[in-house]
Amino acid sequence: MPGVFISNTTMEVMPVAEVDDTRIEDSPGRVTRMLHRAYRKKVAEYINRNVA
């Protein structure tokens, strides 16, 4: 099964480890980790530009 994640403003990008009793072996997967880093970078850029 490919990487699975949930995304929202509170949890950012949260990996999913199990779906309907099926374990996601590579959790968090490469794409989930990449998206999480990119999301955090964008948030930091936004804060630095608009708050700081």
30-47 residue pLDDT tens = 899 999 999 999 999 999
Mean pLDDT of 17-33: 90
* pLDDT exceeds 70 at position 52: no
**Interior angle at CA 5, CA 12 and CA 19, nearest 5:** 140
Residues contacting residue 6 through CB under 8 Å, at least 6 positions apart: 13, 14, 16
Q: Tell me the whole-structure pTM to 2 decimals.
A: 0.76
Enclosing H/E stretch for 19: strand 18-19
- 35: domain range? 5-50
What are the φ and ψ backbone dihedral angles of 23, each rounded to 5 degrees? -75, 135
Mean pLDDT of 9-18: 91
DSSP 1-14: ----EEEETTTEEE
Q: Please say whether the beta carbons of 47 and 30 come within 8 A.
A: no
The structural domain count of the chain equals: 1
